[in-house]
Structure 1
């Protein structure tokens, strides 16, 4: 009986010590300290119609985002701001919609600024990949942040602020320590000066050895050893039908680079390889319509359609100053009332404490030890 109990205790201890590997987050996917983190949420009455776009944006912001974040209509923006500090969340991507258009708000926590972009057109990941003949979307590409490429974000101050905000959404890249194996996707943001639109595209990076025949690339790309039982030698396997032509193709020289480290599948260090991009989605056509200096509030630094004269700006500034002065006055009054209540409570407790601490008079004719 004692032996059976001892064996059962060992089994229980082993079960407790056993670590779940499937539900455990790999260390490579966990965000590092100091890296920007984000929440992608939906707000408003017509927000449910953007649920699919929200999933794609969360996938795009991987790995430093809350992919399984639960939200409800009862939650307000203040609720997310309160939990953002302890969790280290630095940015909010908020989707909202009206009967006419959808909007994307990119805000820096906790005090702004906030960019409001109108979503003119968008395509989901599944739409982009279904239109391709050979879609490529490996799961390993989501283990690291993308390489952010910005184009034509120069000139006006609001465009420079938008470029800085987009750059800060993802961690900075240290060229000296970054490994090439972690650079597997590119996020492109292009600003068209003629139309004022901002185009967002996402691509996966494919590296292939240069100067190698197509048949040999197919052989190097196979994970399992091919069956050579029916072939007399390796040359027959490479030259038989079904493995493409022997030509490499006419690719421009700008796509060929020398690698700084080995990447496998024929991509060796100090040898030339070709870089190709495969679009994975989503696609977004946006227009920057407003910039505010606070978190979804505050002064409007830029508006694409409303222009106010200096008199209106001064009037609004005076109203905001009056509102701020009134708020400070009320806070000072509340603090003064709290101090008065505390002093009054102390004054009321003092006679009771004196009464408790006072000694009773000793009766006459009695000794202390009698």
Structure 2
């Protein structure tokens, strides 16, 4: 027998659809990130799992299912960052000495922050250490709340600030701005509280014995709330009632208190199953944290009353004098992981190949800085000259083909021209390690000798 067709589509928009519509400008302003392993399988299983945990932490504005290959270079990701709207890159790599490094950069112009991962703990290790770990739920549907502490070193006197802190002030503000731009801004007037389910805590550790260090501790927590002021037996009954409504009979039977030895439910509420007396948070031995308690409206369904019933309810509330529908809840943080201890080693302009703005171990004089500026200016002029020559060569080849009457071009020839323009506009990026200046010189020599063509053929073939 044929079933009657049920209409599931309609021309009328969904309720509140106009408010939920996302414009193109809002999409462009939303930060998006990519967490990448440089070297793929060469970094090891622990760093690979750390990358997965960091991707989960950066949800939902990150490429969660990104798969790297050993042949991929940094410029490959930079080429795709523009069309995909990616604003930040987090690059994890391992040096020859075994140190784990992380680079945070803003596309497409930089700057880049270099960190050494001194210590880290994976999500699975953090969950094993907790007595009641938080399971994966709806926490990752919205970005976390970013909390930063001590990013700017305190200074008693502005004139003595430089002598007490060797890290320049403008670099501290730059680091603060880069971490703030990782997530969309939160407006207290428009952002619903229910969407804030996680906290990302970044705490700068200031060492009084080492003023030149910039060390950041990273922690990731989930925000949980529960009712306070209720006795333990009543909380058990509420939990069992929720499981009964969910239809899970096995769990509900296991969580139900044993009332077989009691004559009345009042005996359970007053003395518990063992007759230990009325138990609250204060009498059960658990600590009461009044600072973590907040008052909020009770989230329960209410019956719609008519005008007369509403008047009687208001009159009753006025006589009692208590705020209706207000309950106290305790706010607690449950760690999700991962943990990281990051030490900043270098800040540079551009994306992993620019002029060094600050280095933890290398200090240059004013004369050396002027000489470095001259070298970078010379490199910039040479780069512009190479781009100009490449563009002229491409235009000349097009004119020669048109003059020879070759007719319509083949698809492969058009792709070759596009590749020439792509190579002309994309710089050679440092994709391995932290020695950007040395590798860039090697890349320039390889380009002059023509070795890049052989590598491009190998990449295309394999």
Separation in structure 2 between the aligned mates of residue 246 and residue 102 of structure 1, nearest angstrom: 51
The answer to whether the Cα contact below 8 Å between 1:214 and 1:243 also exists between their aligned partners in 2 is: no
Instruction: Choose between structure 1 and 2: higher helix proportion.
Output: 2
Structure 1 residue 57 displacement after superposition? 0.8
Structure 1 residue 336 displacement after superposition? 4.0
- Provide the residue aligned with 1:312 in structure 2: 368
1:324 aligned counterpart, secondary structure: helix
Q: Does 1:175 align with 2:175?
A: no
Separation in structure 2 between the aligned mates of residue 160 and residue 221 of structure 1, nearest angstrom: 47
Q: Does 1:197 align with 2:228?
A: no
Per-residue Cα deviation, 1:329-352 (whole angstroms, up to 9, x for no partner): 233334445555556666666xxx
Structure 1 residue 270 displacement after superposition? 4.1
- Provide the residue aligned with 2:37 in structure 1: 42
Change (3 A) 1:345 1:206: closer
1:224 aligned counterpart, secondary structure: helix
Name which of 32, 50, 55 aligns with 1:53.
50
Which deviates further from its counterpart, 327-336 or 185-194? 327-336
Q: Does 1:235 align with 2:266?
A: yes
Separation in structure 1 between the aligned mates of residue 395 and residue 72 of structure 2, nearest angstrom: 34
Change (3 A) 1:347 1:100: closer
The answer to whether the Cα contact below 8 Å between 1:52 and 1:124 also exists between their aligned partners in 2 is: yes
1:71 aligned counterpart, secondary structure: coil
Separation in structure 2 between the aligned mates of residue 327 and residue 202 of structure 1, nearest angstrom: 43
Change (3 A) 1:339 1:85: closer
The answer to whether the Cα contact below 8 Å between 2:198 and 2:220 also exists between their aligned partners in 1 is: yes
Separation in structure 1 between the aligned mates of residue 194 and residue 238 of structure 2, nearest angstrom: 17
Separation in structure 2 between the aligned mates of residue 94 and residue 181 of structure 1, nearest angstrom: 32
Separation in structure 2 between the aligned mates of residue 69 and residue 263 of structure 1, nearest angstrom: 41
Separation in structure 2 between the aligned mates of residue 138 and residue 342 of structure 1, nearest angstrom: 57
Gaps of 5+ in 1: 1-6, 11-16, 18-26, 350-370
Change (3 A) 1:243 1:305: farther
Separation in structure 2 between the aligned mates of residue 305 and residue 94 of structure 1, nearest angstrom: 22
1:75 aligned counterpart, secondary structure: coil
Name which of 268, 289, 296 aligns with 1:252.
289
1:271 aligned counterpart, secondary structure: strand
- Provide the residue aligned with 2:122 in structure 1: 124
TM-score computed with the length of structure 1 as normaliser: 0.77
Say which one has the larger Rg: 1
Structure 1 residue 61 displacement after superposition? 0.9
- Provide the residue aligned with 2:227 in structure 1: 209
Separation in structure 2 between the aligned mates of residue 301 and residue 260 of structure 1, nearest angstrom: 51
Structure 1 residue 97 displacement after superposition? 1.1
Structure 1 residue 298 displacement after superposition? 0.6
Structure 1 residue 66 displacement after superposition? 1.4
- Provide the residue aligned with 2:412 in structure 1: none
Separation in structure 2 between the aligned mates of residue 269 and residue 154 of structure 1, nearest angstrom: 43
Per-residue Cα deviation, 1:194-242 (whole angstroms, up to 9, x for no partner): 1642111111111112222233233333422366885765434545338
The answer to whether the Cα contact below 8 Å between 2:127 and 2:133 also exists between their aligned partners in 1 is: yes
TM-score computed with the length of structure 2 as normaliser: 0.63
Per-residue Cα deviation, 1:313-365 (whole angstroms, up to 9, x for no partner): 2112111211211222233334445555556666666xxxxxxxxxxxxxxxx
Alignment length, in residue pairs? Answer: 322
Structure 1 residue 253 displacement after superposition? 2.6
Structure 1 residue 42 displacement after superposition? 0.9
- Provide the residue aligned with 2:441 in structure 1: none
Name which of 75, 81, 84 aligns with 1:84.
81
